[in-house]
Structure 1
Amino acid sequence: MTPTIDLSGVSKSFGPIHAVRDVSFSLKEGEIVALVGHNGAGKTTLIKMMLGLIRPSAGTVRVLGEDPSTGAPEVRTRLGYLPENVSFNPALTGTETLRFYSALKRAGRGQIRGLLERVGLAGAADRRVRTYSKGMRQRLGLAQALLGQPKVLLLDEPTTGLDPASRRDFYRFLDELRDSGSTILLSSHALSELEGRADHVIIVGRGLKIADGTLDELRRIARLPTRIRVKLAEGKERRLEGGRDWREVNGHMLEIDAAPEDKVELLRAAVRAEIADLDVTPPTLDELYAHFQDIEKEAGR
């Protein structure tokens, strides 16, 4: 299967500043990809190269099989983008704003009302954008990005300003787009939001790609412990088989950090005991992110 996005040995320098250094990765259709990294890690530069707004200093970028910097209409019309900070003409209404962008994208106007309904702006469609809250402008930006039913969607901090209900609806919509075959790249600092929603995670730091894989693959590489916590049945002795590393928590629970090779045996010890409850918490995306960033700092590249 031909990748929808393919970066090979991509670097980008701005004078003496190396914003991106020898980054390679491929994305396929029908997946949600999280691009994570601290401010200045190179995320926005990578997105701008995928959009064709800037050219790489070295390496190649291909989006839907084409070089996006050539401005090929077959790429632009099938590519959606939501910047971190959306800005629209405040004098236009929501409907007029989408009409303007649909004309630029040659997407047609037939889907405008449906998109406004989908992002929760149907009731404000004829209001001036100047009256919109930050969250409403963000939702209008998402509707703009979805014009033309793009095959590739690049979203930079897309849930900024959205309330919890709107965030839930937003991710449900992304799942539908993924299931229809779209490739969705999410650049975000909200790592807890992305956990369980991203099929593929790319971690960047100081312009380098420092980790790339599914959450399970990154966990295997990092070998961080899994936290096992049990609540013992009333009146039972507050200890378990498996050694002295079980520690008491809140006076009524036992907890242990299990190395990958010990996890199964410790779980068996827990279920052999008379317990009232059991929680197993694998390393979170936040913990994996910190782990790989620490390794990169120690490498000092």
Structure 2
Amino acid sequence: MAATDRTLAIAAVSLAIGLTVLALKFFAWYLTGSIALYSDALESIVNVVTAIAALIAVRLAQRPADESLPYGYHKAEYFSAVLVGVMIIVAAILILREAYFGFLEPQLPEAPVEGLAVSVGATLINVFWALYLRRYGRRVRSPALVADAKHLMTDVISTLGVIVGLVLVYATGIAALDSILAALVALNILWSGWGVIRESVGGLMDVAVPPETQKTIREVIAQNADGAIEAHDIRTRQAGKLTFIDFHLVVPGAMSVEAAHTICDGIEAKLRETVSDLQITIHVEPENKAKHAGIVVV
């Protein structure tokens, strides 16, 4: 299976798992009547929305560039991740509302063992899937899948807190702890939503590649530009799984176009061997354009 088809299939599986976990968590809430478990179930609605957004974004990001979007659709995944962040924040607000009313009229949850068992089962599903999704999403550099995995892990942490807290509720008989737990879950979700939005906005703003990757790019150019004078104004940006690189390559004024083109081909080939999914633009300039800065080749 091609990598793009596998990514799309994984996004679809993520949606199916999200629906399954959602059903289990609402069943746990139905058994107990716990506001904390209800807040946990509400967060799972966001998981489903996240999976839908990721599926659409991954499918859209696979479309080839066309006349209207000549650089491709890769940033679609960042829009998906921003939507996920907003939905996470909305879920947190809904949970805070339920926690407030529950605190005004506290009630002890019912059927503790059955409800907690169902919740634990749903959490285990999320743990295994989140770990796999995060590893695969990072490998193929998919912002939508990575955002989905991050939210699932936040959901896992929240659920574990709810489970431990509910054990304390049953042990102490203090019904108000149920609402306090729900409020704490909501605050954790708010922080998660802000983190997802912050990272995704960075992608929309054409953030540069990490410093270690920039260093590698500069080294590759320096080692494979024999015959040129210097390379300057090196710029990089990340758009989904694609990395864009552009720079100016200064060559001797008497050098032929064919010779300059051969140098560019060599640099591009080595860069593609080192950094995957590249779009490279090289501006060739005569020696009177040298800035004596950047990467000096000779």
User: Which structure: greater helix fraction?
Assistant: 2
- Work out whether the TM-score is over 0.5: no
Which has the higher Rg, Structure 1 or Structure 2?
2
Q: Structure 2-normalised TM-score?
A: 0.26
User: Which structure: greater strand fraction?
Assistant: 1
Q: Structure 1-normalised TM-score?
A: 0.25
